[in-house]
A and B are shown apart, each in its own frame.
Chain A
Amino acid sequence: MTKPECLLRAGLLFLVLSCTRLLNAQTTTFPVNGLADPRSGCYAFTNATLVKDGQTTVTEATLLIRDGRIVAAGKGVSLPKDAVVLDCSGKFIYPSLIDIYSDYGIATPQRQPGERGFFAPQQFTSSTKGAVGWNQAIRSEVNGIDLFSVDDSKAKPLRDIGFGTVLTHQKDGIARGTGAVVTLAAIRDNKVVVKEKASAHYSFSKGTSSQSYPGSIMGAVALLRQTYIDAAWYRNRPASEGLNLSLDAWNASQTLPQIFEAGDKWSEIRADRIGDEFGVQYIIKGGSNEYQRIKEIAATKANFIISLNYPEAQNVEDPADARFVSLGDLQHWELAAGNAAALEKAGISFALTTSDLRDAKQFWPNLRKAIQYGLSESRAMDALTRTPAMLLGVYDKVGSLDAGKLANFLITTGNIFQERTQIVENWVQGERYNVRPEGWEIQGLYKLTLRGAGGTTEYNLDIKSASSATVWSKDTLTAKFAYNAGLVSLTLSPRSSGRGAGRPGAAGNASGIRLSGARIGNGWQGTGVDTLGKTISWTAVYQQAGTPAPDTGRKRTPSAMAHVTYPFGSYGNDTIPVAQSLLIRNATVWTNEKDGKLEGVDVVVRNGKIAKVGRNLSEAGATVIDGSGKHLTAGVIDEHSHIAAFSINEGAQSVTSEVRIGDNLNPDDVNIYRQLSGGVTTSHILHGSANTIGGQTQLIKLRWGADDEGLKFKGADPFIKFALGENVKRTAATQGNSRFPDTRMGVEEVLADAFQRARDYRDDKTAKNLRRRDLELDALVEIMENKRFITCHSYVQSEITALLRVADKYGFKVNTFTHILEGYKVADKMKERGANASTFSDWWAYKMEVQDAIAYNAAIMHKVGLNVCINSDDAEMARRLNQEAAKAIKYGGVSEEDALKMVTLNPAKALHIDKWVGSIREGKDADLVLWSDHPLSIYAKALYTIVDGTVYFDRQKDEAARVRIAAEKNRLVQKMIAEGRSSGTAGPARPTPQVVLHCEEYDHRVGLLETDEHEENEANHQ
């Protein structure tokens, strides 16, 4: 590398020019204090390597700019006379980078402190003033440009790493209004705006909104959905609405690029689906874990904005600390840098952003790491220039070195992606910004000569930076070096010998040779004192560029990397499991059919179905499982579960029939696997019990490894969760309840009101195009039309009867009463209406309304003739539902076969899926469990759990998985320790929280690392 002579020569000139140029001052409205000082700002950068864009590089070329724009870029450019010519031999020139996801120049809105979550006080209306919409998190009327102002303290760190242009918007709310494209030039606000309204922004986070709704992810989805509908309806200016600036702005911004901040793979897929529903293709702001589901991410066909934020190494030296860091976290730490490469490989278009970085200085190291992990340099360049410019419709102005575009470019010492390369200058709109690190120009090898009374001594001096140098002759000396604007001081002392020599701080001798000097040409000269205090003189003569530091990154070409499993993390499958032909031989088969319990029977599974039940069967090519001495039952069905979701309760209003659990499934929840280990094959994921009319439920099969759509039980009737009693009147609220209702009387009123509104809505004769579609009421109409079915959280007999009466009046049925701990008191009334009962086996006395709960409840209801299910409502207990069913034998003497049906066939009936599952009959889904023992015994273990003919749990393979997990975890901990030691930047070990979601039903919280959705939200806000 040669010294940057052209720039050094031009240095003085630049100092003069660095004041702000006021181009065309006579044509602006802004008066000038002093002389007009017009300048053309014409510069020619000659002999440079021009990287015009990710694909085009021209060597020995010239870049010519004038008035802040590029005039020409390439070979054979003729230089105008008024151009300041800068020789850039050996230099590379790149377009300045573009960050498409920023809030540069916009103040970060502050969230009001206060308790949030289910038990906190409620706020029902927006606290935003003005003619805006009803929900405080819909801020579509906000325009980034109105809030923006140049902020050089924020611009400089971005310019220093090469950025010249950003898209800025206010990152607050579910609809966030528009963003503006601005440059990072430190000039008047008016001059930096490239595009005033360039984008519209969305997210799932309500940000600073203090309004209670939405209080969940699925609530945010529902709000977005309804707002799309409302905005379309509002185009006709309905008089009933008045002026709604939020919806006006929403409609006006639909033609802009729509950017959705999701940040996590499942959120991204969810966002894309909302877009699909309303004909919008979002540009999706992702995170760093897209590689974990690259197929699904590619299927969105969206353009992505990807962060380069990787998890930092944690201090896992202490095994007791390392214990609580999950394998998934460790694997993600190892693999995150490969995310961009995975996207490139999958053909996904993406831009890169600095927005999630803890420190902008991490940008280049992290980008280079991405390149080591396989990202191509041209793609990286595109992702920082052309792609964001194209997405925002500003490629005519920024994003490449082409005539007519803004003069936004970087001068570097070489290929920008190489570790030793430095960005020397960043020009934005023709303004030069020196971004060299302090002391950059003095780096190199020098010959150091000391002259004193004792003669002449020579040393080698390698200056690495303004504060670091090494000095050696025969031995290496300890050198303390400081450079400041042409002046230098240097202290040399011999290294102490023995242990510790060579380590920083190990030098024992502070009284070395002390030198002071100043720059002269390429070198140095000055005076000093030796160890005896005698005066000496010295010179340093520049020899050559310093020895390049070893390119440490290159050596760390990733090897032995973690595999992406399905799902990601512990107990994931290497590939997504597939159905196989199975022959289960000689088992005791609990058919749940007329045949009852059959001994010594074979079952053939083919194409995911039960093909044959009989004796002495054979099946070519089938995997044979010996069932001798073992019991085969239908898979366990949990009528009431809260696993595998990101949120469960939308409790901010008493009626939230618009929210859908299916909008926020979490296929990575390890409780899916744990419950497979307990024989569960189907789970009904219910909304919580925070409100009278809760959200729409989602029936899933426990297909561990599938994505969220893949979990869903296809073709099943849709259900909805209702709730009565203490939870919906918020008995446990910390500061009292202000949300109607506060009594069971009010609960009944809420129900009547909701169905009356739904009935009026259904019968509304307004012209269809003028009617406002209401998703909340749509769901209730579906109930009245027998297209959606209720499962209702309920305890005491009064409330049960009250709901039955409301149902009678509005002509719908209550399909299932869940919990129903006083069902035994009104079993006859329930039977009359054909309601199903789904209850706990033996829970009671944890709150007032369960004082009369009895363990004999299931038996009584069964004997009265109800279809009775035993449910879990508990991620732990669901693993032992067979045992919970057995308690119906103990408490009330139900027969064994009937008891087993309470967790298999009966819930299938209650959920209207008994034509597919719940018993062992030819033609039904092969959802089966092979137990080691009598299936109702506490000693029984599920050996195989099979869903759709696919073995999702195999106890032997589980044993092998444990060994694998331990080994993999050990490998990663060792690697993390090594990296922590070498980088010295390991943060504290972070225990991986275990999110377990609840109905809000009880305070059973025992896991050391257990957390819930509200805690997660709080933690994410910190």
Chain B
Amino acid sequence: MKKNITAIIALLLAGGVASAQDDVYPAPEYKGLSFITNATIHVGNGQVINNGTIKINNGKIEQVGTNIPIPVDDVRVYNAAGKQVYPGMILPDTDLGLKEISSGVRGSNDFRELGDWNTSVRSIVAYNTDSRIINTLKANGILLASVSPQGGLLTGTSSVVQLDAWNWEDAAYQLDGALHLNFPSLLQRRGRFGGGGMQGQNDPIKEALARVEAVKQFFREAKAYLAEKTHAETNLRFESLRPLFEKKQKLFVHAGIVKEMLVAIDFAKEFGVDVVIVGGSESYQIADLLRENNIAVILSPMHNLPTLEDDDVDQPYKTPAILQKAGVLFAINDDHGESRYRNLPFNAGTAAAYGLTKEEALQSVTLNPAKILGIADRTGTLEVGKDANIVISAGDLLDMRTSLVTDVFIQGRKVSLENKQTQLYERYKKKYGIK
């Protein structure tokens, strides 16, 4: 029997309304067949299939195309007529699940560790699957996130999580894929955030370069340490660098200005590690160099002001188009502290308004981050063999005017779109008797 999807939604809604999402349950495993039919399928590799079908078997995409037969067995069929189907979006660098209430509630925060040399700090062990924020992201089509620690110079390792889980072990999608480095600022700015102002006794640039050198020294010592098999005393920080040097892990360098990125490239060369720039608001100025050196970029959101008053008023908006044209692999991020990351699709939409094609914009939040995070073999597109991480929207996912996510699948499980906000919405609709 085909199951009716509206019936499923009704079931979920009937679960009652609480203001704390305690009754929003992760979806159970489903090993059977599912079909999404009559869909406009945005595969995520640039291809768009009209009136297509996606066949899902045991959580994986088994077939994508037109004229795919649907058995009359016990399968689930989701009619997506008139709707748009996309790969699940990926938030490429975030404190999701580590930072609940940034201001005034210190106890809710676990994203910034003390010390400069936190190579062995792992975000995954603090990732809180019960964060109220997570479910609001699913409701907008964001299904995976790479969760990063932030404190110090070397801040620790990030892991990719899927956003429908009971606990962090369930959530883990890829463990410790990247080590993060907060690049010391090479921008001489004044004021209290600039480290002493223009007339300060110490030259902030020199100090920053000394810190860069300290990181290099740390890496050199670690490399030497790792070359020796046995140690009377074990150095956990150095041990943690092994996957990086073995290229099982990437180095994510958080850097903004050109000089910082150039030094980061030098890092990649000296230590033979895979470097990804995170932030990179000025990356458009060295797009060719980044491509030549195979440096990928996780871009800070488009929804930012231009750096300088002279800059083109639409500079952050069109930065992706410049990187695209130069052939740089980039992903778009949303780290906005007040809307809490749910506007990732609209940052991509803005990039589409300013020079990317819509499919390129989609890739910048699906396939590209999957490639950068090293999970493109499992997700990022709606291609055969990949996990069924799928979003169905009533209209263009990247335009808030039409973006309305109706169904979401993570690893083939149809997950709830309910969250604290939808529940409060229902609660107060009831109060006022509005539809």
Contacts and interface: CB of A to CB of B under 8 A. Distances in A.
Interface of A: 320, 323-324, 326-328, 569-571, 670-671, 673-674, 677, 726, 731-732, 824-825, 827-828, 840, 842-848, 851-852, 854-856, 860, 863-864, 875-877, 880, 883, 886-887, 889-890, 892, 896, 934, 936-941, 958, 962, 965, 969, 988-994, 996, 1002-1011, 1014-1016, 1018-1019, 1022
A487 to B, nearest CB: 41
B6 interface: no
A938 B346 contact: yes
Interface in B329-358: 336-340, 342-343, 346, 349-350, 352-353
A844 B190 CA distance: 31
- Report, nearest first, the 6 A-B pairs whose CB atoms are least far apart: A1015-B191, A938-B349, A670-B309, A856-B425, A847-B103, A854-B421
B305 A1007 contact: yes
B191 A1018 contact: yes
Contacts of A1004: 336-338
A32 B308 CA distance: 67
B101 A993 contact: no
A887 B400 contact: yes
Contacts of A1010: 305
Interface string B174-195: 0000000000000111111100
A1009 B257 CA distance: 11
B434 interface: yes
Contacts of B229: none
Given A846-B340, A886-B401, A1002-B103, A1008 B309 contact: no
Contact of B189 (A843, A876, A993): A993
A934 B305 contact: no
Given A876-B305, A993-B190, A883 B400 contact: yes
B4 interface: no
B81 interface: no
Nearest to A1016: B191
A863 B200 CA distance: 57
Contacts of B192: 1014-1015, 1018
B47 interface: no
A1022 B198 CA distance: 8
Given A845-B340, A856-B421, A1003-B337, A875 B305 contact: yes
Contacts of A1005: 193
A732 B103 contact: yes
A326 B191 contact: no
Interface in B298-349: 300, 303-310, 312-314, 336-340, 342-343, 346, 349
Contacts of B404: 890
B103 A731 contact: yes
A990 B308 CA distance: 13
Contact of A993 (B191, B256, B353, B434): B191
A1009 B190 CA distance: 9
A670 B309 CA distance: 6
Contact of B132 (A571, A851, A990): A851
7 contacts: A674-B305, A827-B432, A860-B432, A892-B425, A941-B353, A991-B189, A1008-B187
Nearest to A676: B313
Given A848-B104, A854-B420, 10 more contacts: A324-B307, A731-B104, A847-B103, A890-B403, A938-B401, A969-B310, A994-B308, A1011-B190, A1011-B191, A1019-B190
A854 B188 CA distance: 40
B268 to A, nearest CB: 19
Contact of B337 (A892, A940, A990, A1002): A1002
Contact of B338 (A326, A843, A1011): A843
A1006 B337 CA distance: 10
Interface string B210-231: 0000000000000000000000
Contacts of A848: 101, 103-105
A936 B353 CA distance: 13
Contacts of B191: 993, 1011, 1015-1016, 1018-1019
A78 B304 CA distance: 79
B304 A876 contact: yes
Contacts of B312: 962
Interface in B42-84: none
A863 B432 contact: yes
B399 A938 contact: yes
Given A883-B400, A938-B349, A1007-B304, A328 B309 contact: yes
B400 A938 contact: yes
A892 B105 CA distance: 30
B252 to A, nearest CB: 18
B434 A846 contact: no
Contact of B343 (A825, A842, A889): A842
A863 B133 CA distance: 26
Contacts, number: 206
B308 A846 contact: no
Contact of B103 (A864, A889, A1003): A1003
Contacts of A886: 399-401
Contact of A860 (B300, B307, B428): B428
B349 A939 contact: yes
B339 A843 contact: yes
B101 A847 contact: yes
Contacts of B102: 846-847, 1003
A153 B258 CA distance: 47
Contact of B428 (A825, A1011, A1014): A825
B199 interface: yes
A569 B309 contact: yes
A468 to B, nearest CB: 32
Contacts of A851: 101, 132
A965 to B, nearest CB: 6
Indicate the member of A324, A569, A677, A827 with the most B CB atoms within 10 Å: A324
Contact of A570 (B200, B307, B310, B434): B310
Contact of B398 (A674, A938, A941): A938
Contacts of A875: 305
Contacts of A854: 420-421, 424-425
Interface in B252-278: 256-259
Indicate the member of B190, B257, B340, B404 with the most A CB atoms within 10 Å: B190
A992 B399 contact: no
B342 A842 contact: yes
B98 to A, nearest CB: 13
A845 B352 contact: no
B190 A732 contact: no
Given A965-B310, A1008-B256, A860 B421 contact: no
Contacts of B425: 854, 856, 860, 892
A674 B103 contact: no
Contacts of A1014: 192
B60 to A, nearest CB: 31
A825 B425 CA distance: 10
Contacts of A939: 349, 352-353, 399
A732 B349 CA distance: 34
A896 to B, nearest CB: 8
